[in-house]
Chains A and B, each alone.
Chain A
């Protein structure tokens, strides 16, 4: 037990927690926007891959880091649009369509990567985002290391939490998105476009998910690997239920998750000899399932989630 407290007191532990949480923050926010509008987006895992690949590839081709971020978001929006057409315009099963988008986005990304770089054995590297050092603040003893040595993408993620909260709770657009996920007929009666709101929400949400992927190749690492997303998208789908579709709780959930993951890596080195390393590797996934089971009963799903809506059909 002493070891755990010692770990909790280190700066590197808290810095790592925030770093691990960053892609999840993007992913959970994206999933939250989609689901609030009434559409489950299981394309998330593939959109993470697409964002990671497209962002990295753009930087590698010379767009610059922020150019890569934009390209990743556009790629995410594109695959989101496919999901939107299938589930909103055509009203198809959101489960199957989402899985289809995941498989499609993943295979497009892998195929493009292999086609662009047919013969590389070790993946080529880019110059990733550097920690954003702020002159005086970065010198602060504890906070300085934890907060002010994160990269710009982590700051963007934290900013997005505030922005999504503001749009969902303080603007007419947010009210409309929430209404379209609860009672699309009432939105239609107001003269707003159910299709437009839902498609827009899915495209924007998917673009955010793709930034989570881009963080992996452009900040956490500096190259693209096959299988690097490794279920992070699915974890976001579990976290959004745990967060009961609230941006603040989504941040909390992602941070808790990041802290747990950072802890397990450090525990592994402490007690590695006694416990098989797989116990620690499996812990994040087990934790997600436990969080889901705890949250599922009291979760207030958006009422029209999974229900397609057609104009003129009541």
Chain B
């Protein structure tokens, strides 16, 4: 799998491990995990996947990446 698909897979995999949380909590937990452990380039790429309406992202992953994008934008200088 190429690196973009791999990042989508990774985001979805994190999502599946937070499946017992409600949607909002899951999205925040996934986003927090990505912020804590992913290199900024990986984060940009996964946000880019959301912008491109990537269909492989699970719904909860999409919500999480949206949280990530909003945080990313608010943190931008």
A pairs with B: no
